[in-house]
Amino acid sequence: MNSKKDSTAPGVINHCLILSISVFTAPPLFSIRNALMSYPVTFSTLPISYTRFSLSLKRILSFASYARSNIPDTFILVLFALLTSGLNVLGQEGKYVSYICSTCWVIVHKDCTKLPRIIKFSRHAHCLFHKYFLAKQELTRQDCKICFEQVKVERGSYSCVKSGCNYVVHVNCALEDKDLYEVIEQESQCEELCAATQSSIIRVIEVNEDGEATKIEHSSHEGHCLLLANKMEKETDGKCDGCILPVSTPLYYCSESDCHFCLHKNCAEFPRIKQHWFSKSNATLEPKGAQKCAFCRREWSGFFYEIAEHYDVCLWCTEVADIIEYCEGHQHLLIFDFKCKERCNGCGSPSGRYGAFRCKKCSFALDFACLTLPHSALHKCDQHMLYLTYHDDNDYKKHDYCDICEGKRDPSL
């Protein structure tokens, strides 16, 4: 057997894993050790602990003989010890029958030998590969992108192999929720999954000299063509049928004179099908009437993304990443936690049933509704710009009341 590691897949073991055998009570250890020392295999011992497992000398020798004849050039190691050291794959201690590599001493739970080698994780754009340890060029400290605890270099993890991408997660964090990943059988499927995004522009009919589509068919307005306009011929109070914001150029408008359908160019270019981090299922763009967004619970009409066939999510919420590196009004990054039940620091309400964005370093948390609020706004009751904040250090008593509704407010929000 070739014991060299595959240079194209650092962290992947190409050695044989030998099943370790727990301690038994009879026959006596010394007679077994002497018998095995005379047998033509390499033998090592670790400190002995007695367990309920019992194995005869005949079965041990039979196993060693089989391994010797079927795995040439590999050292055979039979352990007479209870494995209480950290297991390499999960980084967990455990009193289990395990597999061990006698070449590089990687120790693996029996169940962990069945871990999927490649997964498509909803919270990352590329496929993730399982590694038993990180390669030399990866030995700088890295934090798991789910729990933000350190990923130890000598333990197993799932990481991205794309050049320049340092995304890495703990094995348990990646496989905790089956709704967030799917197992990939063949490496060739990775490229297909990354290219699975579909455009909402069904057909480009005409293009200009710059290659820009000037006449298209769009999935949200089938039957009529849409034309590109780079300037407005007259003022209008119309709204984009995708995002419901006032129209501005460039935009696509319906070619039929009696139809007032129009889309911002950016809205027309939203993908018809895309991957969203909230679920392993694809998100599909659908034009809908007025209804509440499943995440922020605000009334919305226009384009929704239907996620996992259950959640209709507005455009604003689908553009929010699962990791917020900069949050206006808070000094630390926020990560989305599906299990977060803490009170939202924006509105004071308990986190929704889908979870919330929480801070790893403190107890700060925000739900989708508060995270997507504008950072500044104008109000008719004041001539100055109002700025969003999540705390009020002013101890003036009048600050305990809202100047608009005059109701008592919580200064901690």
pLDDT digits (tens, 9 = 90+) for 373-395: 888 888 888 888 888 887 766 66
CATH number assigned to the domain covering 116-194: 3.30.60.20
Distance CA 224, CA 259 (A): 9
**Whole-number pLDDT of residue 266:** 93
Secondary structure (3-state) at 59 = helix
* pLDDT for residue 56: 41
Written as six digits, the tokens of 374 are: 């504008």
Q: Residue 396: its pLDDT value, please?
A: 57
Q: What was the pLDDT predicted at 327?
A: 83
pLDDT on residue 348: 86
Q: Per-domain residue ranges for the chain?
A: 1-114, 116-194, 198-268, 271-318, 320-413
pLDDT score of 305: 96
Provide the whole-model pTM. Answer: 0.72
Give the residue ranges of the chain where pLDDT is below 70: 1-98, 102-105, 134-140, 195-196, 235, 392-399, 411-413
> What is the separation of C-alpha 297 from the centre of its chain, rounded to a whole number of angstroms?
24
Determine the pLDDT at residue 220.
93
Q: Are 351 and 342 in contact (CB under 8 A)?
A: yes
DSSP code at position 123: T
- Determine the Cα–Cα distance for residues 41 and 38; give it in Å rounded to an integer: 8
Q: What is the pLDDT of residue 357?
A: 94
Residue at token pair 């289990």: 96
Residues whose CB falls within 8 Å of the CB of residue 307, separated by 6 or more in sequence, listed in order: 276, 278, 279, 281, 283, 294, 313, 318
DSSP 8-state assignment for residue 403: T
- The conformation of residue 179, written as its DSSP 8-state character, comes to G
